[in-house]
Amino acid sequence: MAPQQTVLVLAPIRGITDCHFRSLFQKHFPGFDSAIAPFINPQRYSSFSQKQLKDVLPEVNIALPVVPQLLHTNVQDFLFLAHRLEELGYKEVNWNLGCPAPMVTIKHRGSGLLPYPEQILRFLDQVIPKLPMKLSIKTRLGYKEKGELLSLLPHLDHYPLTEIIIHGRLGKQLYRGESDPEAFGRCLECTKHTIVYNGDIDSEKKFRNLQVQFPGIHKWMIGRGVLGNPFLASEIKGLETNNRLEQLENFHRELYDCYKELLSGPSHLLGRMKQFWAYLSFFFPPQQKSWKKIKKCRTEAQYQQVVDDFFQK
């Protein structure tokens, strides 16, 4: 049995964990307590229409509480969007200081801002007094050097952040190499804030070892690990999982039907479903034939046939 206080957060995975995925995932694979939504694309002087905010509209986020995420580094634009989100009822937003995508970091956004601590602090100085809600940060160990976050953290003690989520990689690593728990541990010594662990939790065993290593951590964020094994959050929480293949089939059917209605045309639909299967290593070791067949599908009929075979219908 997991200790009572374990809190699990579904990581934002842009392109996959949208509001439809989050809701259906929570319905079929319970275990998460909340989620952070993938970042809202930063826009200048935008009025942020309902369409741009569709992923965080309250009515599509009932199953799993969500915190919207902003990637902005422009104070006015950040505050503008935060006020829109407050109107929608949000009490907290998350600032993305971790995105490693070169298109983002080149603009000194996401992890690309970590080498410039004075800019981060100036941003917080200007934003926090006018922010109508709470703020948390999601970040990495640094962009180029692991010392970047270490030297920033004591300065962040002066700001009222709800928590800091740390993914134990550098921005320049993208998703290469492994998340570094030792470097994460060094961060804990430099902050008074509540810290959330993130990075490469892909099995219950790994999670339990991290729990022993970091007894002071109660909140854990998991992304690719649950895309690979959708039962991981249930396993960690000690929830029963009975007929796993049937559970997966039900989830898949609802997800497919949902995207079929929402996405225009089979190529978008199949593209989205292939992404989902690509992560599903628990059922689909990379060498397995069904995955290779799915990758080759060009039509909905072909796809349906391979999926039916997989679920042995």
Ligand X SMILES: Cc1cc2nc3c(=O)[nH]c(=O)nc-3n(C[C@H](O)[C@H](O)[C@H](O)COP(=O)(O)O)c2cc1C
- Tokens 């060094």, located at residue: 186
Shortest CB 40 distance to ligand X, Å: 9
Sequence-ordered list of residues with C-beta below 8 angstroms from that of 246, at least 6 positions apart, any chain: none
CA distance 66 to 92: 9
Shortest CB 49 distance to ligand X, Å: 20
- Write the single-letter amino acid at 245: L
Shortest CB 243 distance to ligand X, Å: 26
Shortest CB 54 distance to ligand X, Å: 15
CA distance 278 to 231: 16
Name the residues that contact ligand X, by CB under 6 A: 11-15, 38-39, 69, 96, 98-99, 138, 167, 175, 198-201, 222-225
222 or 307, CB closer to ligand X?
222
Shortest CB 138 distance to ligand X, Å: 5
Shortest CB 302 distance to ligand X, Å: 25
170 or 306, CB closer to ligand X?
170
Shortest CB 12 distance to ligand X, Å: 4
141 or 248, CB closer to ligand X?
141
CA distance 35 to 284: 25
Sequence-ordered list of residues with C-beta below 8 angstroms from that of 209, at least 6 positions apart, any chain: none
Shortest CB 226 distance to ligand X, Å: 8
Please report, for residues 151, 262, 276, 303, the alpha-carbon distance to residue 266 in angstroms, rounded to integers and kept in the order given: 49, 11, 15, 10
| Tokens, residue 118 | 């004075």
CA distance 98 to 105: 9
CA distance 226 to 10: 8
181 or 293, CB closer to ligand X?
181
CA distance 43 to 22: 24
15 or 177, CB closer to ligand X?
15
CA distance 299 to 254: 19
84 or 199, CB closer to ligand X?
199
- Three-state DSSP state, 225: helix
218 or 224, CB closer to ligand X?
224
Q: Report CA dihedral (288, 294, 297, 299) to the nearest 10 degrees.
A: 150
Specify whether the CB–CB gap between 292 and 284 falls below 8 A.
Answer: no
154 or 177, CB closer to ligand X?
177
